[in-house]
Amino acid sequence: MRFKKNTVNILVLNCGSSSLKYKIIKMPGGTELVRGEAERVGIKTQGVSRITHFSCGKKTVVEVPLANHAAALKKSLELIARDSAENSDICFDVFAHRYVHPGTLFSKTMKVDKVVLRKLKDTLPLAPIHNPIIYRLIEFCYDEYYNIRQFIVFDTSFHRSIPPEFSTYALPLKIIKKYHIRRIGFHGLSHQYVMEEACKFLGKDKSSQRIISCHLGTGGSSVCAINNGKSVNNSMGYTPLEGLMMNTRCGNIDPGIIFYIMFKERFSPEETESVFNNKSGILGVLNFSSDLRDAIRDMRNNPRARMVFDMYIRRVRSYVGFYSLILKKADMLIFTDSLGVSCPDLRQGVCRGMELLGIRLDEGKNAGCRGNIGDISSVRSETKVLVIPTDEEIMIARQAYRELMKNDTGC
């Protein structure tokens, strides 16, 4: 397929464990034509599965059973086809998928073919919450829509610049080499996007900036140190399990606890992995919810909710402090994703007492900043403290478009 005047509509599919975000983005300009999100996909829940769809200035909410991500995609495509019947500009030429953890197999955007699919199958255990779900959706698209080109964009590519002193684990070299074990890092699409948007917002050149990016979501969370436009460290490691306390992931713990629990509970590796990935973190401690916003709501009257909030904050602060040392003070501290953008209490908790590192928050600006891009730093702050909503889908579209143009000489 050749595209006229280099213009192509890319359907971006950003698959979460129980959600599917989608956007049709017209490239190279980056114009959004359609967006939507399917929620409560493939899980047992008291709430109803639904798709919230935006197109041509209209919002449509459809409540419908969504047994899996393929069903969510089919229903989303029905909504897109309805829009296309009314407006022929709403269509797509290419699929672009986000893939969480390719191990060390891929470090750049790939066109989907049988060889790539076969290799990806070996990476399914690396991110058990995400990889199998995304893989099945890519495979479904490859089989059902074989005449449409597809690309996979990897969440880890931005972190390939992490230097060896931070990417190497203190394990036997023989094991490291045999299994290609190293810090890989995640949320790279988000960290790269907010870095670029923050520099644009402040009129700075990214090649001269020292940045700490806090991607704090209701699912996964990570902190990234960025120096001169390149990732130099990320709180997530070989898998997304390392680092911050998350909704159901434990984050950093003493590895000895793993062996002790396996021995005492007689757990298999799979059962143990499920405890640390699916039953720990905020859910494990709070017990009634995996959402930090519920802890923030209840923390004035519930000591356990207060403790969960403090645990979360202190873990973020430890990375901000560590990365400030690596960067010799940051020029920018960025908060992004659902919690980072919408929770002033969280941002205030992270920044409290950080004057030594040059970080001072303006409490009034912080309280008033919810959901929009903003500078919430005090006039006396050496480090700019920013709120930048993320947009992983535009990063996926840009990278897929770049790869597509390499392969299409007709453009």
How does DSSP classify residue 147? Answer: T
Q: Rounded distance, CA 30 to CA 27, Å?
A: 5
Q: 331 and 211 in contact (C-beta within 8 Å)?
A: yes
Location of structure tokens 């007709």: 410
For 273-329, give the DSSP string.
Answer: HHHHHHS-HHHHHHSS-S-HHHHHHHTTT-HHHHHHHHHHHHHHHHHHHHHHHHHTS
Strand partners, 62: 51
State the Cα torsion 377-379-380-385 to the nearest 10°: 20
Q: Rounded distance, CA 388 to CA 191, Å?
A: 10
Look up residue 89 and give its amino acid: D
Who contacts 30 (Cβ-Cβ below 8 Å, separation ≥6)?
Answer: 394, 397, 398
Q: 20 and 73 in contact (C-beta within 8 Å)?
A: yes
Residue 343's nearest CA partner among 311, 295, 303 is 295
Who contacts 232 (Cβ-Cβ below 8 Å, separation ≥6)?
Answer: 161, 162, 163, 166, 225, 226, 326, 327
Q: In this structure, what token pair is assigned to residue 350? A: 């992270």
Give the angle 36-38-43 at the CA atoms, nearest 5°: 170
Which residue of the set 83, 89, 93, 155 is catalytic? 155
155 is catalytic: yes
Q: Report H helices in 129-279.
A: 131-144, 164-167, 173-179, 188-202, 255-265, 269-278
Q: What is the CB neighbour count within 10 angstroms for residue 128?
A: 19
Q: Rounded distance, CA 40 to CA 19, Å?
A: 6
Pairing of strands 210-216, 94-99: unpaired
Who contacts 329 (Cβ-Cβ below 8 Å, separation ≥6)?
Answer: 210, 357, 358, 382, 383
Catalytic residue positions?
A: 155
